Chains A and B, each alone.
Chain A
Amino acid sequence: MIAEGWLTAEQAYWAIPVFTLILGLLIGFLAQRSGFCSIGGMRDLFLFKHTRLFFGYLSLIGSAFISYAIFASVLMPDAFPNWPWFGTQDSVFTPIPGAPGGLQNTDYIILAVIGGFMMGLLGVLLGGCPLRQTVMGFEGNLKSIFFIVGMCVGAILFHAYISPWVVSLF
């Protein structure tokens, strides 16, 4: 099914960079103010029973659930053709596209568990999730700047070498 939003494809051509830039400015500003961090939230919960940051991540999941439900069922159903995802696919385990393409559903669950676990582990050891690292870098932390550069190199390596290699494993 082809999804249609409030803007046409021609309008979106320019709206995509402009709107995502504004979104980023807002998130960057508020993330700097609040110290927002998903992995940091879980860490503080496990280590100190502090819930402040953890509630930030929980409220994101809750808000996404409610916002998608309202937009998809009332405001603009055409823009959300596959909502709710588990109910519109062949299997409830079909993943929303994002990971390397063309694999079985069970493979995606394996990749999600490996990816999630390692991201959580490394995030704690390095002191924050990717968003927190980006914000810390622009608060003047040079280590986080190197982390950001690493992410950029990782993006190129992933698509040039790692993704084809992972797909060949399954």
Chain B
Amino acid sequence: MNSNEDSKNLFSKLTRAPWFLGILIGFLAALLQALLISGGGPEAYGFCVACHTRDFINDVFNEITGQSLGLAPISKNAATAVLTMIGVMIGAFISAKYYKEFKLKKGTPRSYLLYFLGGIAVLVFALLLGGCPYRAALRAGYGGIVAIFGILAMAAGVFVGTKVVLWKMKQEAV
């Protein structure tokens, strides 16, 4: 194996390693705050699926309807709201297409309704916690004690959820 192939393998391994992305997000969130905090807070806001979606959607909604739904100062003070989630969508799409992993998977109308309502509920609960699991992790890393309660509660919720899933599987097997 030559060194070119070695580096290709390393790249492929790293991109597939969740721990690598975890470390990268933590570092980039701190770097972004060091760069951009003059534009507005809050702190520990580098990456958040729920809040950054909220910022973008509410900004567009306010623009169209003339209302003033809440969004973070960093999104109010800039040319546009944070575009993180637009980036995630494009990035995931490019990756799925490039590696030929894009596959159209349809569901039933009932499942669409369930996921739609689930999306509403998950975003609402995330904003009650003050961020999705990722911003909760950033807040915990920043020294926010309340976020640690949120993460522990999330683990409890996941634990109960796995019990529900196991119970359902048993019901279906009988």
Spell out A's residues near B (CB within 8 Å).
3-9, 11-17, 19-36, 38-39, 41-43, 46-47, 52-53, 55-68, 70-72, 75-76, 79-87, 92-100, 105, 108-109, 111-126, 129-131, 133-135, 137-144, 146-160, 162-163, 166
Interface bracket on B = 35 or more
Please report the C-alpha to C-alpha distance between residue A76 and residue B145 in the assembled complex, in whole angstroms.
Answer: 23
Task: Beyond the given A21-B87, A31-B88, A120-B155, please list 10 additional residue pairs across the A-B interface where CB-CB is below 8 A.
Answer: A17-B83, A34-B16, A64-B138, A85-B144, A98-B130, A129-B133, A131-B133, A134-B89, A146-B119, A152-B53
Q: Is B10 an interface residue (CB 8 A)?
A: no
From 46 to 64 in chain B, residues with beta carbon under 8 angstroms from any chain A beta carbon are: 46-47, 49-54, 57-58, 61
Looking at chain B's contact residues, is the secondary structure mostly helix, strand, loop, or mixed? Answer: helix
CB distance from A88 to the nearest CB of B (A): 8
B42 touches A97 (CB 8 A): yes
Q: List 10 A-B contacts (CB under 8 A).
A: A7-B36, A12-B77, A23-B46, A24-B89, A33-B16, A68-B30, A84-B142, A124-B157, A131-B132, A156-B57
Contacts of B152 in A (CB 8 A): 116
B158 touches A71 (CB 8 A): no
Kindly identify which residue among A82, A95, A141, A148 contacts B130, using a CB–CB cutoff of 8 Å: A95
A5 touches B37 (CB 8 A): yes
Kindly identify which residue among A36, A98, A163 contacts B18, using a CB–CB cutoff of 8 Å: A36
Please report the C-alpha to C-alpha distance between residue A144 and residue B49 in the assembled complex, in whole angstroms.
Answer: 14
The listed residue with most A CB atoms (<10 A of its CB), out of B29, B77, B138, B143, is B143
Kindly identify which residue among B18, B103, B124 contacts A140, using a CB–CB cutoff of 8 Å: B103
Kindly identify which residue among A5, A119, A152 contacts B34, using a CB–CB cutoff of 8 Å: A5
